């Protein structure tokens, strides 16, 4: 028997309550979508060490057979998210889809394969120039580069003054990205240089349309999730009920303010998944 901490919370907004009601009433038409880092996985100083919350995959596996689809929408390469999440070969998750690199890559649990277009040539050019750029502006002790295949990210979380390093790098990195046809996606103490045209909102909207969903839940924790929140807002205006969940973070107040429901990080997301699974037939 679950404790009161595991009961299904009530969204703070009417739109959120309508979205939750639609999921509960017609789960077979619902798409449940989640960011990875900070939502299904705790934030850690080194992204290579990020792993899904130990209870996240069992909770997803209990819930997934009861809904139309479960999707993970992430800026990470799809294959990396699958490995770090432990999503492959899990009973109950045979319909899971991972939309990686903001939707540019897709992994389907049914086939276990990743489909992706050719990389943008600007990423290789930026990758070559970044070390010299960081040296010229003072190297920012503790700042480091993450290779992501179809994008490259500069992290400041381990710098002596993470916020100061983040702000000092915004303009030079934006200029570098623009020279090579890329954009900069800011996050929690990270600046990612990536191709334009895809974001989590585009990825989510296209997937919801593909599935023909009658309701959608999206949970995220960072600035990159704002586009997915906007996509759910647009879907709601088009008659598709939706629920916006913020995986609570004091670092990104803007997302919490936009959410229908704020939960306590990945642990809170897991409790929400468990509560939904218990409520659904």
List residues with catalytic annotation: 35
**3-state helix vs strand vs coil in the chain, percent to 5:** 45, 20, 35
How far, in Å, CA of 135 to CA of 166, rounded?
15
Beta-bridge partners for 113:
108
Decide: helix, strand or coil at residue 41: strand
Long-range contacts of 92-96 (CB under 8 A, 24+ apart): 92/60, 92/61, 92/62, 92/64, 92/65, 93/57, 93/60, 93/61, 93/64, 95/64, 95/65, 95/69, 95/70, 96/60, 96/64, 96/69, 96/70, 96/71, 96/72
Torsion angle of the four alpha carbons 260, 262, 263, 269, in this order, in degrees rounded to the nearest 10: 50
How far, in Å, CA of 40 to CA of 217, rounded?
14
Decide: helix, strand or coil at residue 275: helix
The first and second tokens of residue 69, run together, are 């689809």
How far, in Å, CA of 71 to CA of 218, rounded?
9
How far, in Å, CA of 43 to CA of 28, rounded?
32
């Amino acid at each position: 028997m679950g404790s009161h901490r595991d009961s299904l919370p009530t969204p703070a907004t009417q739109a959120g309550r309508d979205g939750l009601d639609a999921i509960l009433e017609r789960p077979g038409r619902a798409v449940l979508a989640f960011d990875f880092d900070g939502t299904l996985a705790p934030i850690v100083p080194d992204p290579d060490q990020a792993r899904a919350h130990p209870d996240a995959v069992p909770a997803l596996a209990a819930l997934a057979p009861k809904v139309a689809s479960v999707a993970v929408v992430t800026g990470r390469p799809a294959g990396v998210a699958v490995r770090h999440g432990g999503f492959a070969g899990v009973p109950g998750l045979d319909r899971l889809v991972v939309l990686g690199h903001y939707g540019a890559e897709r992994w389907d649990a049914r086939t276990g394969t990743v489909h992706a277009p050719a990389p943008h040539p600007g990423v290789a050019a930026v990758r070559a120039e970044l070390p010299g750029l960081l040296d010229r502006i003072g190297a920012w002790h503790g700042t480091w580069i993450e290779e992501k295949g179809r994008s490259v990210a500069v992290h400041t979380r381990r710098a002596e003054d993470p916020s100061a390093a983040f702000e000092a790098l915004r303009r030079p990195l934006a200029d570098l990205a623009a020279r090579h046809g890329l954009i900069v996606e800011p996050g929690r103490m990270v600046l990612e240089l990536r191709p334009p045209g895809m974001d989590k909102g585009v990825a989510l909207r296209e997937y919801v349309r593909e599935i023909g969903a009658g309701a959608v839940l999206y949970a995220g924790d960072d600035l990159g999730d704002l586009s997915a929140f906007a996509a759910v807002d647009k879907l709601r205006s088009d008659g598709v009920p939706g629920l916006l969940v913020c995986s609570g973070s004091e670092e990104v107040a803007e997302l919490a303010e936009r959410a229908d429901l704020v939960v306590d990080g990945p642990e809170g997301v897991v409790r929400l998944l468990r509560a939904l699974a218990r409520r659904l037939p």
